[in-house]
Structure 1
Amino acid sequence: MTSDQSGQDRPVLAPQTFRRALDKSHEAKAKVEVVANELTSANDAVKAKIAKGVTSLPVHEALADSEGVEVKVQDVAGDLHEVTDTLSQGIEDLKGVESALKRSRKALIESEAALALSQRGEHKAKFDGMHDPRTGLPNRTLFDDRLAQAISLAERHGWTLAVMFLDLDRFKTINDTHGHAAGDRVLEEIARRLNGHCRDEDTVCRNGGDEFLYLLMNPQGRENIERVASMVLANLGAPIDMDDLQLNITPSIGIALYPEHGGTVEQLIDRADIAMYQAKRAASGFAIFDDASRG
């Protein structure tokens, strides 16, 4: 439906209406050709009579010819007027349809833009809810979820897992001596190094404060776990250049293994935390959980 100038709806012409108009136009064309032929014939007849010396024609013949042609011309004119009206209405309807299509396209573009903006906002909100705002690392909620999934996979495939609990030694001294801004930059650098070190299938998270968690998927034995822990210690222990300062950070790492030390998220993290304190007391850099060594 389209609206005319009065605001009232009128139906949009269907394709068959245009076909009828075209057919009518063809009929009108045929009639025009007939009239033209008749006029030509009448003109030729007049010329022939004049050529024979006839200088006057009977009035009734002239009138009859004139009236017959006039009727046909009017008939053709009526057909052409009908065709013109139909096509004019169709053109106006087409203009209305095109205008409506333009408005629809514009509305569609605006809707798509609003949807994309909403999706970006939803994605950002979801990301923010699962990541630490300071370091950009996964937060504890996301880590727990990934560890739970890892436990399910490990149980199904007979894998081992290692959970490393990292704590930065004497981090409070950095905040107290150089300010919290310096402490934040240290955390960001530690996060960058940890994130660059871990494999795609592993997960590093900030647990809060100066604590981090590191999940190793199927690390293939204690020897390899100890090798990874030593590499992390060396990586994080390298000096951090900060303006005119050069800070040295030493972490302590506690390690718990699945399934040896626990079969749940809580058990593995708790025992990795205990092992971290064992490493601090022994000043050994890292320690694998040993229940006999609890103190």
Structure 2
Amino acid sequence: MSFDRIHTSIPADTPFALQVALETSQVVKAKAEACADELASANSRVKQKIADGATMLSAHKALAHSQAVETTVQECADDLTSVTKTLVEGIDDLEQTEIALMHSHKALAQSEAALTVALEGEKQATLRALHDPTTGLPNRVLFDDRLAHAIALAERHGWTLAVMFLDLDRFKSVNDVHGHAAGDSVLKEVARRLSLNCRDEDTVCRNGGDEFLYLLMNPQGSENIERIAGSVVKNIAQPIQIADLQLFIEPSIGIAVYPGDGMSGEQLINNADAAMYRAKKGMSRYALFCAREAETLPA
């Protein structure tokens, strides 16, 4: 009987050493079963020959064959002992592998947690780098980036843009009389009101000090721009309550419109700044840019 090809159902992901041990045990098991069958057959033949009055020589041969089969069975038993030892070692290796995998999974989880913390830290650092710490509004760096992107879109789609330059009148007196903490509270409240007035596609930023910039995306004509500017003036001019203080702040707003008042972000901001100075001197709280104002912009 040949034992070269024994079909097994050992899972493909079983460790190699364990696979070998399991396959060997199945071969040895088959060999032992075959030997047992031969031994039983030999015993039956001996009994039959004795029953038939066979000579002692024939019986001796049958018994010798039986002993040979028994020897083979003993060899199979020895093989099984070896296989058992290998199986135990394989199982131990498997347990060690599982422990190593457990540690690897734990290390991976810790690495993922560390990466999450790092990414959140990077996100917060980027947020701080692009936003004003006092008001939480975008800062000038972020505003310039959005303005450049808006100009590119406006050029592609034939839109208009408007940049409003806001300055808070008599803000310095708030700091001088009530302190910088009161001044910061005013800035935060103005920022909140500007944000409430701002559409999702628009951008408001703190330019520094008591200055703010307001980008209007495709505002659909000067009439709508002036309506928005008037609404901003009205909202900011409402009383600001700080503890037991009630403060009144009014903005002056200068407006420059793309493309007529400038083709770049820098031109639009500078021209809106120039228009803001005219608003400070006039009866209206806001003013649209006109070309001659560029010549009178303070150095």
Which bracket does the TM-score occupy, shorter chain normalised? 0.7 to 0.9
User: What is the Cα deviation at residue 149 of structure 1?
Assistant: 1.4
Q: What is the one-letter code of the residue matched to 2:159?
A: W
User: What is the Cα deviation at residue 17 of structure 1?
Assistant: 4.9
The answer to whether the Cα contact below 8 Å between 2:45 and 2:62 also exists between their aligned partners in 1 is no
- Between stretches 206-215 and 189-198, larger displacement belongs to 189-198
TM-score (norm 2): 0.82
- Between stretches 21-30 and 284-293, larger displacement belongs to 21-30
Q: What is the one-letter code of the residue matched to 2:84?
A: T
Which residue number corresponds to residue 159 of structure 1? 159
TM-score (norm 1): 0.83
Which residue number corresponds to residue 71 of structure 1? 71
1:35, 1:291 → 2: CA distance?
112
Q: What is the one-letter code of the residue matched to 1:100?
A: A
User: What is the Cα deviation at residue 79 of structure 1?
Assistant: 1.6
Task: Indicate yes or no: 2:121 matched with 1:126.
Answer: no
Please list the CA deviations of residues 217-256 of structure 1 after superposition, one character each: whole Å capped at 9, or x if unmatched: 1111111001000111111111112221222211111111
Q: What is the one-letter code of the residue matched to 1:30?
A: A
1:14, 1:287 → 2: CA distance?
80
User: What is the Cα deviation at residue 162 of structure 1?
Assistant: 0.7
Distance 1:146 1:34, change over 3 A: closer
1:271, 1:244 → 2: CA distance?
39
Task: Indicate yes or no: 2:86 matched with 1:86.
Answer: yes
Which residue number corresponds to residue 191 of structure 2? 191
Which residue number corresponds to residue 54 of structure 2? none
Which residue number corresponds to residue 9 of structure 1? none
Which residue number corresponds to residue 136 of structure 1? 136
Which residue number corresponds to residue 246 of structure 1? 246
User: What is the Cα deviation at residue 283 of structure 1?
Assistant: 3.4
Q: What is the one-letter code of the residue matched to 1:125?
A: A
Q: Counterparts in 2 of 1:172-211, with a 5 A limit?
A: 172-211=172-211
Which residue number corresponds to residue 7 of structure 1? none
Q: Counterparts in 2 of 1:42-53, with a 5 A limit?
A: none
Q: What is the one-letter code of the residue matched to 1:96?
A: Q
1:62, 1:290 → 2: CA distance?
126
Which residue number corresponds to residue 56 of structure 1? none
**Gapped regions of structure 1 (runs ≥ 5):** 1-12, 52-58
Please list the CA deviations of residues 20-67 of structure 1 after superposition, one character each: whole Å capped at 9, or x if unmatched: 433432333334435555666788899999x9xxxxxxx978985884
Which residue number corresponds to residue 54 of structure 1? none
Which residue number corresponds to residue 110 of structure 1? 110
The answer to whether the Cα contact below 8 Å between 2:46 and 2:63 also exists between their aligned partners in 1 is no
Distance 1:38 1:261, change over 3 A: closer
- Between stretches 140-149 and 285-294, larger displacement belongs to 285-294
Local SS of the residue matching 1:287:
strand
Q: Counterparts in 2 of 1:200-239, with a 5 A limit?
A: 200-239=200-239
Local SS of the residue matching 2:127:
helix
2:148, 2:30 → 1: CA distance?
85
RMSD between aligned residues: 3.1
Q: How many residues align?
A: 281
Local SS of the residue matching 1:260:
coil
1:151, 1:263 → 2: CA distance?
8
- Between stretches 173-182 and 160-169, larger displacement belongs to 173-182
The answer to whether the Cα contact below 8 Å between 2:164 and 2:272 also exists between their aligned partners in 1 is yes
2:113, 2:19 → 1: CA distance?
41
The answer to whether the Cα contact below 8 Å between 2:18 and 2:91 also exists between their aligned partners in 1 is no
1:41, 1:218 → 2: CA distance?
102
Distance 1:34 1:147, change over 3 A: closer
Distance 1:60 1:245, change over 3 A: same
Task: Indicate yes or no: 2:146 matched with 1:146.
Answer: yes
Q: Counterparts in 2 of 1:50-65, with a 5 A limit?
A: 64=64
User: What is the Cα deviation at residue 124 of structure 1?
Assistant: 1.5
